[in-house]
Amino acid sequence: MKRREFLQTTAAASVGTAFLSGLPIGAYGYSPQLAALTNAATQSDKVLVIIQLQGGNDGLNMIIPLDQYPALMAARGNIALPQNQVLSLTTNTGIHPAMASLHNLFQNGKLGVVQSVGYPNPNFSHFRATDIWTSGSASNVTWTTGWAGRYLDGEYAGYPTGYPNTQNPDPLAISIGSVVSNCAQGPSVNMGMAIASTTSFYQLLSGGVDVAPNTPAGHELTFIRQVVSQTQVYTTAIQAAAGRAQNLSPLYPTAGQNSLADQLKIVAQLVAGGLQTRIYVCQLGGFDTHTLQVPATGSTTSGTHATLLGKIAEAVSAFQDDLQRHNVQDRVVGMTFSEFGRRIRANSGYGTDHGSAAPLLVFGSRVNPMVHGPNPTLPANAGVNDNVAMQFDFRSIYTSILKDLFQVTPATLTQLFGQSFPYVPVLRPGTGTATNTAAEVASFTVYPNPVARDGRTVVAYESAGGHVQIVLLDALGREVRRAVDQVLAAGPQFLPVDLSGLAAGAYYCQVREAKRSGSRIVVVE
């Protein structure tokens, strides 16, 4: 068995894990290599939260193409939602009713949707597809290293010697749960490390580890214990951060009812407690819905997949509420991913089989609250092998978030992923600036919306007074129109925006005023 496989599959990976609120926490040891990736030398206070939806999420049942309902019903009439139950995000795109709280986040400017995310020549194996997403490789290339691990080994070959230290006392990345993510795998050692509990069975305080059998599995167990021992020093920092803050949101469910909410609750506590960790990895399993995705009898709005989507919405909404109550919401960006989507056509078992591309969610106060890309095109009579075509390469989302959140340079991104990828503006401009104290423009509305071509819309908001800009950006984040650029008085503002000459499509309408900003999607029809 390969060491990476052993780390990912055995319970030994969490044997020495510390516990917060009853959940095991594994940590990737802090390293200047990964710090360089996230520009930690500039003391960035930004945080990326990654949620892995394990099993392959059915994107067509989460983000629904309202403009293609006849084709959707023809392909999956036994599992499709009634059209009148779908919650509208835009004129053409909706979201599952189990995710009503995320619908509210979208309306409040804190959720973005990226349509049809995948990669060329998709692989339909859970294990291989997960490796592709976590390594950042192409489907025809096998990289045994993760994208972060390559930096960790290549730039700081001596890790973990010398860490933590006075300048870098905290772990940079933490995974909550027992799985050590492949994204931190280096050429010879997995940089994803467990933080041990002082009550664990091995002898950390003495500097040694328990004796394991002289067998291949025993050697791996010894390695696990050494890794845990090396990162034991991070336990104090995590416990100290947890002691400095308490969860404030009343929206979290009772512990044990929603594992994702339990994990995000810990993330919020650590962020609010001042832990300078840059990346958190959380997980929610159960998305391999080959059968009984919906009940064989009864409403298609219920069932296994609806329950999972409800857990995502409940967890993320409580998390965002908690961050806001602590006034740290502008520091944190979250994203979801799954190893693949599901087929367009449902099977006879009220389920869906392994597919290709699927939507990806980005959440937080600093996201661009829009649907990136049009709905996937569905054939009128989809066959059993028809798939959702890719619109966005997942590496475009990774590199765009790293660029905007952590200010990673294009040269570094190209080195990390082996090539450059198109930029997708899933985050608002200025998101990655250190100590970002900009507030959101309250009650920012655009009407009418959608807008006919060669028409006008009105931006309405309460101005604090001062220099104001209203700009329109296209889907690539390029400024296409500056409607307002002047000093305005404090008070209610109703500002006309001329859309004449713009091509049909979705645009970002941004209000920029001193230390406040706001962003809404405007659709030109």
Structural domains in the chain, CATH included, are: 3-417 (no CATH), 439-524 (2.60.40.3080)
Q: Which residue has the tokens 């709905």?
A: 375
What span, in angstroms and rounded, lies between the C-alpha atoms of 302 and 294? 6
Give the DSSP letter of residue 282. E
Take residue 227 and report the two structure tokens written for it. 């890794």
What span, in angstroms and rounded, lies between the C-alpha atoms of 283 and 336? 9
- What value, to the nearest 5°, has the Cα angle with vertex 183 and ends 198 and 137? 170
pLDDT at position 260 is: 92
pLDDT at position 134 is: 84
What is the pTM for the complete model shown?
0.75
Cβ–Cβ under 8 Å, residues 186 and 145: yes
Q: Is 114 left (phi over 0), alpha (psi -120 to 50) or beta?
A: beta
Q: Give the residue among 307, 304, 284, 286 at the shortest CA–CA distance from 295.
A: 304
Cβ–Cβ under 8 Å, residues 372 and 426: yes
Cα within 13 Å of Cα(518), Cβ side: 21
Cβ–Cβ under 8 Å, residues 1 and 220: yes
Q: Give the residue among 377, 372, 397 at the shortest CA–CA distance from 387.
A: 377
Q: Where are the alpha helices (DSSP H) in 2-122?
A: 3-9, 32-37, 69-76, 100-107
pLDDT at position 117 is: 96
pLDDT at position 22 is: 52
Phi, psi of 361 (to 5 degrees): -100, 140
pLDDT at position 54 is: 93
> Coil, strand or helix: which one is 180?
coil
Take residue 379 and report the two structure tokens written for it. 């054939």
What span, in angstroms and rounded, lies between the C-alpha atoms of 473 and 369? 13
Q: What is the mean pLDDT of each run of 10 residues along the chain (525 residues)?
A: 43 42 49 43 72 95 96 96 95 96 93 95 94 90 74 50 64 68 63 39 36 68 57 68 89 92 90 86 92 95 97 97 94 96 97 97 95 92 93 92 84 88 88 53 78 86 84 72 87 90 84 72 83
pLDDT at position 450 is: 87
Q: What's the farthest any 2 CA atoms get from each other in the chain? A: 77
Residue 501 has a CB neighbour count (10 Å cut-off) of 9
What span, in angstroms and rounded, lies between the C-alpha atoms of 180 and 25? 10
What span, in angstroms and rounded, lies between the C-alpha atoms of 444 and 149? 42
pLDDT at position 181 is: 65
